[in-house]
Structure 1
Amino acid sequence: MPSLPETRVKRSRTFEQVGLDYMGPLSVKSITGLVKRWIALFMSFTTRAVHLEMAGNLSAENFLHVLRRFIARREYPKLILSDNANQFQLIFKTIMEENANFLATKGFGDYGIIRPIDFISPMASLDLPINYDSDQDEYTSYTIKTKDKPVKYWTSTLSTLDVFWKLWKEEYLISLRERTQRELTSPRIVEKRILHENEIVLLNEPKVPRGVWKLARDGKIRRATIQLPNGKQIDRSINMLYHMEIDATKDREENVDDEPEEPIAQ
């Protein structure tokens, strides 16, 4: 298996490089009855954080609103990796063309002087109220009363961030080395890692979408007996089983029989 790309192992801002795909459709109950909804899934390559946005349909216009809401919450990503869906390609192509022609067509005459607030939260889309007291007669904006408070908060945030990146480097990157290795030695794919009894796996079904593959447990090594959720058992080759990112052997407790020791004769 080749090495992971730089976007997976290099320290960067969360959601700076993301993967994008749609999940669904899901049936949602509304006032008019059951309707179909999709979920746009954004995953950060570096931290594997996940951001979900609901999509009413698969049109390019709806995806543009989904992308706008994502950017308003997570800032602009430097890289978006997706499949060749029509709505993705149309919006990305439109954005690239608009950015290329922006300076030539718009110019700089319509922009005002930059204010101090523009450096603190430039064009931020706030979705949470700062003042939670609904009983007051007059709304007053939140103000920072002392200089020490924001400095203390900023220092604490940096310390917490350093701890996170330390764990990310020492634990997460090392865990990526423990990926299951597959090698192609013949027309068959040979699995180096031996399956264990009662390990949870995914069952490959050629004519069924991957999202609805059944979970199963194997009891043999070369040819596994699979138990489906409905209790039915079928036989499949281990080359049709795919490991999930959980290892049953780590959580398995060794059963040791505590037998009483025989007394020593004196």
Structure 2
Amino acid sequence: MMGPVYVHSGKSATKVKAYVAIFICFSVKACHLELVSDLSTSAFLGAFKRFISRRGVCAKIYSDNGTNFVGAKRELKKLLFDYEKGHSITDLATREGVEWHMIPPGSPHFGGLWESAVKTAKYHFQRMMRSTTLTIEEMTTLLCQIEACLNSRPLTYLSNDITEFSPLTPAHFLVGGPLHVPDETNFKTEIDKYQKKWIQVQRYTNQFWRLWSKSYLTSLQQRTKWKEDGINARIGTIVMIEEPNLHPTQWKLGRIEEVHPGKDGRVRVATVRLANNSMVKRTVTKLCPLPIQKSDEEIDDLGSPGENVQDSQL
């Protein structure tokens, strides 16, 4: 649970607290964001029902041992289970094909995966929103577009064809293909007050995309103190290119066609072929190999110890 965030009804300027339920897939790191009104049991049940209605029933569910979940578990027993028969939340979940696990109390490091997602989303969300308050509909729309941004990050390439530049993303496991946020960068100059609020939501989406995509690429390009020679950039490596002003959910991918080593033999510049067959020259500090492209025997081609899909930051 991330929050609080502040929303209002639209008819009243009074702002109220709300929260965001974050669901993370342990296999492909796909994200699902749900706006909930509070930390009560009924709000949690509503968010969970909306999640499984759109994404399907999970085989296993892991959650922290916060007081809100412990209280929800206690209330769920009263609401959904027959005490006389001694049924528990685990019994019902098992009967429905779901195993529910809770991490030990006072051990947030056991839930590092979702804690990382909360940290990433909350950090950029707070920087972006500051004191702004949206309506419930506007906030829900914004969260859905943020979800599309998070699920658009490339995991690896789809094909070994050298002419194919379509990456595999978490969205492929959700909807069978990439997600796209409508490009609304050319805003109208004359708009009514109702359209103005929705354009503001799109601006927030673009702002979140700029902040998060830059942070995500930086996390894949971390370079620690060198103690031995890394492996140079190699021809044929598929890379993401750090490029400003890209539209939300759009990533610039290319394949290294030529390397330009210096006098010491180290590659610091490479020529990259883009999807439209154009060639661009970039420094290796602007190139990032896809997260799971490295093998166990190799450090990544750009000289930094890259991450695999299990360790990549959301």
- Give the TM-score category using the shorter length: 0.3 to 0.5
Structure having greater relative contact order (Cα 8 Å, sep ≥ 6): 2
Give the alignment's TM-score, normalised by structure 1.
0.35
